[in-house]
Amino acid sequence: MKKYIAESFGTFWLVLGGCGSAVLAAGVPDVGIGYLGVALAFGLTVLTMAFAIGHISGCHLNPAVSIGLMLGGRFDKKDLAPYIVAQLVGAVVAGGVLYVIASGNDAFSLDGGFASNGYGEHSPNGYSLLAGFVCEVVLTMMFLIVILGATDERAPAGLAPIAIGLCLTLIHLISIPVTNTSVNPARSTGVALFAGDWAIKQLWLFWVAPIIGAVLGALVYRVIGCKKEA
């Protein structure tokens, strides 16, 4: 159970830290952190948790990552369902904590989206469904390639959390304007359940696209990362 609990706490931290920075700090006049700050916040949540719980659960924090690692031969399929459940629990609890904090300000409104992911009129910069789909698939694929490469036994020891955290930061720098960046179905679900309405209606994309991307990333790394025969 320790690894499932660790995954739940880790995903809680990712959603609270990343989405919390977007809801609470990004738009503050004059001193708000903006897109760059939110991107860094997401990267830092993964980096810090990778050091904190990587040796306990592997620090997936993301159903798509768990699926990709399973297909990449790095994760036992018997743990897949419990990991996804644990990640969703952590994400939804974080969404609830964030809602309690945010609603303590009289100016707070769910009309702002509550850091939910969206496309079309709910994309931060009005990007289409196709643009959002391609963006989420490609960036999740690259994320899995980086994760599998950085955690390969041939990679420099101890540096994987830094590479993975910086990769997630870069992903957010690219895609916040497009979809508000998911690449993580748990992250999307954790806030969409509180935002309701359109966020739930569009949630399907942020399950389908990251999972497809994770599958592609695992397949690519199985080709480029395979060891040569002695």
Residue 147 main-chain phi, psi, to 5 deg: -60, -50
* CA distances (Å), origin 79, targets 67, 74, 156, 215, 221: 10, 12, 27, 17, 21
Question: In the chain, which ranges are continuous DSSP H helix?
Answer: 2-20, 34-57, 63-71, 80-102, 129-150, 160-179, 185-195, 198-201, 205-224
* Cβ neighbours around 143 below 10 Å, total: 26
pTM metric for this prediction: 0.94
Measured between alpha carbons, how far is 78 from 125 in angstroms, rounded to an integer?
40
* pLDDT value for 225: 83
* pLDDT value for 111: 87
* Cβ neighbours around 29 below 10 Å, total: 5
* pLDDT value for 230: 47
Reading the block at residue 12, the tokens are 């809680």
The C-alpha torsion from 113 through 178 and 20 to 150, rounded to 10°, is 150
Measured between alpha carbons, how far is 96 from 80 in angstroms, rounded to an integer?
25
Measured between alpha carbons, how far is 168 from 161 in angstroms, rounded to an integer?
11
Write b or e for each residue in 39-49: b if 16 or more Cβ atoms lie within 10 A of its Cβ, otherwise e: bbbbbbbbbbb
Give Cβ neighbours of residue 201 (< 8 Å, ≥ 6 apart). none
Residue 133 main-chain phi, psi, to 5 deg: -65, -50
* pLDDT value for 226: 76
- Span 50-96, pLDDT tens digits: 999 999 999 999 999 999 999 999 999 999 999 999 999 999 999 99
All residue ranges of the chain with pLDDT < 50 are 230
* pLDDT value for 27: 81
* pLDDT value for 229: 54
Give the max Cα distance, the chain: 66
Closest Cα partner for 61 from 159, 154, 147? Answer: 147
SS3 182: coil
Reading the block at residue 122, the tokens are 């709910």
